[in-house]
Amino acid sequence: MERIQKLVSHMPEDMDAVLIDGPYNRLYYAGMHSTAGTLVITRDAAYFIIDSRYIEAAKKTVKGCEVILQGKLYEQLAEILKKHGVKRIGIEDTKTVDSYLSLKEKLPEVEVILDRRLGEIISRQRMIKEPCELQSIRRAQDYTDRAFTHICEFIQPGMTEKEIALELEFYARKIGAEGASFEYIVVSGPNGSLPHGHPTERPVEKGDFITMDFGCLADGYCSDMTRTIAVGEPGEEKRSIYETVLKANRAAMAAIRAGVSCKEIDQIARDIITKAGYGECFGHGLGHSVGLEIHENPRFSPTCEDICEAGLIMTDEPGIYLEGRFGVRIEDMVYVTEEGCINLTKSDKNLIIL
């Protein structure tokens, strides 16, 4: 499998092998959805050790690895490492301390290397999306756009935030989404000032803004979108804040392309919001990378030192939050190219008034 070969070609010289059992990395390299499984990659071979619940599926799905039925895991690992003359094995920095200690204890013949290097190599590889990954994310976003169209027809004053969140998810799954890419945020009226608020029993009222931040899963890949809509005429102040956020979203998007620093993109949106007098009301970063996980690196934030590269999928999500009053966030997901970026989000972002 090409992904495994690429990882081997970037493996630090002092590692003879790597062990991968984090759920997202395992899915990325073995191509198999499972809650268990251990991937061992040496310089000349790859093994996927998996228990009986998954063995039949693994034999059909996993390519480029020898699939082994899990028995006594540590004994199996020791045997593989001995066979390939492995003296030093690298592990992911996301492992628990307990599992790290167990490995060290149960594999006394090899040195277990735990540092940041393997995680960084994998994160760099996962950052640049392959065409098939882009296709899955486009599909996830298509479910998301269709669910948004549906919910705009569904929402009525008097419905609660919870009812709206549930309908969004139910509809998305009905049309094919594998699931929600994270717990949906539906916040209305004064709850809108909570950027990551949970849906409550609050009924939406005329004059409210409703912010909906949601996404779907397709082939394990996430989509992420936010829209803020009005129920009835929102009034001058809300309209003007909405326009400021939209302006920030559009200006950042126009600047995204390979070669520009992530920090700079964040600054473009932040300057617009600050100039309008709401700099203090935009507390989070402008965006993040999306893939198998909803929040991946790099980030559009004031502290991110990374440079945009072609093949990244990033969100552009400025917001203004007025404590105890209301909030606005508009989030699109883009694919970065050499010349600019392609907006993967098709939903209208001009203010929708129901």
Neighbours of 255 (CB within 10 A): 17
Q: Which among 50-58, 89-97, 266-274, 326-334 is the span making contact with Zn ion, rule CB under 5 A? A: 326-334
Which helix (H) or strand (E) element contains residue 243?
helix 236-255
- What is the DSSP-derived secondary structure letter of residue 146? H
Judged by CB under 5 A, the stretch of 69-77, 96-104, 308-316, 319-327 that binds Zn ion is: 308-316
Using the structure block, give the residue that is written with the tokens 């965006």. 287
What is the smallest separation between the CB atom of 219 and Zn ion, expressed in angstroms? 19
Residue 250: CB minimum distance to Zn ion, A? 17
Q: How far apart are CA 158 and CA 268, in angstroms?
A: 38
266 counts as binding Zn ion under rule CB under 5 A: no
**Judged by CB under 5 A, does residue 296 bind Zn ion?**
no
Q: Is 224 in the site for Zn ion (CB under 5 A)?
A: yes
Q: Tell whether residue 289 is a contact of Zn ion (CB under 5 A).
A: no
Rounded distance between C-alpha atoms, residue 230 and residue 103, angstroms: 55
Q: Which residues contact 321 (CB under 8 A, 6 or more apart)?
A: 192, 193, 194, 195, 281, 282, 283, 327, 328
Q: How far is the CB of 311 from Zn ion (least distance, A)?
A: 19
Tokens of 195: 């950027």
CA distance 225 to 89: 40
Binding mask 24-63 for Zn ion (x = CB under 5 A): ----------------------------------------
10 Å CB burial of residue 62 (0-12, 13-18, 19+) is: buried
CB closer to Zn ion, 244 vs 315: 315
Residue 332 engages Zn ion in binding (rule: CB under 5 A): no
Tell whether residue 249 is a contact of Zn ion (CB under 5 A): no
Binding segment for Zn ion (CB under 5 A), chosen from 27-35, 85-93, 206-214, 266-274, is 206-214
For Zn ion, how many residues bind (rule: CB under 5 A)?
A: 5
CB of 300 to Zn ion, least distance (A): 10
The CA-atom distances, in angstroms, between 105 and each of 102, 109, 239, 304 are 5, 10, 62, 38
The residues that touch Zn ion, with contacts defined as CB under 5 A, are 213, 224, 226, 315, 331
